[in-house]
Structure 1
């Protein structure tokens, strides 16, 4: 088994220490109030080192989100897929896991919203979190069971679902409820999943509607 060189191991440790320090400060102080100087001090690194790893606080925010996703959400969904859930059930579990492990930190959620609506054009919102990868795994599982439409590739379906989820997750700032309050999240997710239940396999939905008419 190859072992990373000492320099690379030290770099990874420093990066993780910075992320851990930022997460702790975002919890206690809030994202907006937390300064890069405070993060450097808590992580016990110099300002130069901090900016070498993360040139902006926004970059650190996205890395933190990616870390939370890969450490908590992704493993949970991978294990859940082993139980062979339906496609819509698996999507529900994914969206609720994101809520539990990432969005329940109110200031982090608000910061992600602000970052989303003020990002540079052409920015990739997946940003290496693994979200699209998880969507593809869910869809591939559904396809093997014949639950998905066959006229669109899985990659396109995954991007469509991701775009719809983001539109629910990141409402325009003027339409937000009180910052950090996610009261409507479950209802919005239920509405989205009801739509996807039909959109992912319209043939099944049409057959079900025909059966209902024939039974009358």
Structure 2
């Protein structure tokens, strides 16, 4: 039992080291320019060992994106428990995500492309690792329970549409750029979506 636990701890430490080195290399040299061999060499492991932990390079980004989602969910849960209005919390999460994607602009496109991967298994893995729609669903649930959302669409459908819009608008911004900062682009998109999804007077500024 002890030897098994020790091996598991060693594996966790090795995975954490590979992950940390990979993200640092991505940020320093760019995702596309960084190879699995680069990551393995810098992590002091073999290329085969790297693929034992991450079957493809983009899988490292899924861990990275999952951490971001966890922080957003924690923030949303804390704010809702404090009694903050759900729509205010949604805008806070929206802004935080936009700020993060702006600061890590090079990492967002390959991460987003994984959700759109033509390989269904990889796309499913990415979707599960990046549950933005689940965070949005949690935030909007009080409004749904209070009858303040449209009744012809399920809460899940509304949340999925909002999350999908974030993905596509942010991906377009990262790939091509616009005259507006990403946060402004995302607020415009969210305002438009909520006008059609929520029965309310006014929109948070």
CA contact (8 A) 1:148 1:201 kept: yes
Question: How far apart in 2 are the matches of 1:78 and 1:7?
Answer: 35
Q: What TM-score, normalized by structure 1, do the two folds share?
A: 0.76
Distance 1:73 1:44, change over 3 A: farther
**RMSD over aligned Cα atoms:** 2.8
Question: How far apart in 1 are the matches of 2:41 and 2:157?
Answer: 44
More helix, by proportion? 2
Question: How far apart in 1 are the matches of 2:173 and 2:114?
Answer: 12
Q: What TM-score, normalized by structure 2, do the two folds share?
A: 0.80
Deviation at 1:189, TM superposition (A): 1.7
Which segment is superposed worse, 49-58 or 91-100? Answer: 91-100
- Mapping of residues 21-100 of structure 1, within 5 Å: 21-70=21-70, 72-100=71-99
Higher CA-based Rg: 1
**1:150 alignment partner in structure 2:** 151
- Mapping of residues 104-183 of structure 1, within 5 Å: 104-112=103-111, 115=114, 119-122=117-120, 123-124=123-124, 125-171=126-172, 176-177=176-177, 183=180
Aligned residue-pair number: 196
Q: Which runs of 4+ in 1 moved over 4 A?
A: 113-117
Segments of 5+ residues of structure 2 without an aligned counterpart are none
Deviation at 1:24, TM superposition (A): 0.9
**1:214 alignment partner in structure 2:** none
Distance 1:89 1:138, change over 3 A: same
- Counterpart of 2:193 (choices 196, 202, 215) is 196
CA contact (8 A) 1:87 1:147 kept: no
